[in-house]
Amino acid sequence: MAYYVIYDGNCNLCVNLVKLLETLDQGQLFTYLPMQDEAGLAQLGITAADCELGMILVDAVTPTRRWQGSAAAEEIGRLLPVGNLFVAAYRALPGVKWSGDRLYEQVRDHRYTLFGKRDTTYQPQYPACVSGGCQG
């Protein structure tokens, strides 16, 4: 299985999380596409308006299978080795998932104020290859 992680390549927090995932996964499961890559997004049928709702995880084999926002973060965590244990515990604790979803929305909406904005879009080490061409 392979997945595309669509992230804000201008957000310091987002880029640091992508760099961490790149280090952990080494391109084995995840490849990355910045939200600023309009051509790559178009090939996946994703618009800039879609990206307003947060990061997106796309199943590369079945691109209509997608997760967005906090659901994408949870699915990424679930797919990582032993991550499923933490995600299952997070989902099982009463009120924690609801609080996590609200926290994600606040961070998403205020990410540049909270964490800063990069001058240039981060190009990932493991770029997503959509429709036969690597983006980035």
- Residue 108 pLDDT more than 60? yes
- The proportion of the chain whose per-residue pLDDT surpasses 90, expressed as a percent, equals 79
- The reply to whether the predicted model has a pTM over 0.85 is yes
Which of 107, 101, 76 minimizes the C-alpha distance to 11?
107
Each residue of 3-43: pLDDT tens digit? 999 999 999 999 999 999 999 999 999 999 999 999 999 99
DSSP state of 76: H
Q: Are 33 and 128 in contact (CB under 8 A)?
A: yes
Q: Write out the residue range of the structural domain in which residue 45 sits.
A: 3-134
pLDDT at 132: 55
**Phi and psi torsions of 14, nearest 5°:** -60, -45
CA distances from 106 to 46, 54, 101, 110, 114 (A): 22, 11, 9, 6, 10
**Cα–Cα distance measured from residue 37 to residue 8, given in angstroms and rounded to the nearest whole number:** 10
Provide the domain count of the chain: 1
**Cα–Cα distance measured from residue 11 to residue 91, given in angstroms and rounded to the nearest whole number:** 27
